[in-house]
Amino acid sequence: MRQLQLSLLLAAAGAAVILLRPFGEVASYGGVAGIVAGAVLSAPYAPRADEPGRGWWTMLAAGAAITLVGAALSLLVETLGGLLAVLGCVLVAIGVALGFPLRD
């Protein structure tokens, strides 16, 4: 359970770095890497398709994918890429909030 908590915190920290941009544009790409790493590391803990509660990881994975596309697109079209990145970060934050286990 501890690994799930750490991976979700990694994804949340990446989303915060992108949304708040405290360290500039280069650090935002590190935030994208944190989101993707958090989603990949939390994948083994995602509920199976037939189990209830699957939505948190689906939201996390979709947010990671949208953020990744948004970051790449922002190199060409800054406004559209930024909007997609923000949308992806919001989905990541919701997925982290729903999936974060409070107990070990």
pLDDT tens digit sequence for 4-23: 999 999 999 999 999 998 88
User: Is 104 among the domain residues?
Assistant: no
12-46: burial string, b at 16+ Cβ within 10 Å, e else:
bbbbbbbbeeeeeeeebeebbebbbebbebbeebb
For residue 63, what are the domain limits?
Answer: 2-99
CB atoms within 10 A of CB 87: 15
Whole-angstrom distance, CA of residue 88 vs CA of residue 17: 13
Number of structural domains (the chain) is: 1
The answer to whether the beta carbons of residues 54 and 46 sit under 8 Å apart is yes
Torsion of CA 89, 91, 68, 7, to 10 degrees: 80
Whether the model clears a pTM of 0.75, i.e. scores above it, the answer is yes
pLDDT digits (tens, 9 = 90+) for 43-96: 998 888 777 777 899 999 999 999 999 999 999 998 999 999 999 999 999 999
> Please, are residues 43 and 59 in contact by the beta-carbon 8 Å criterion?
no
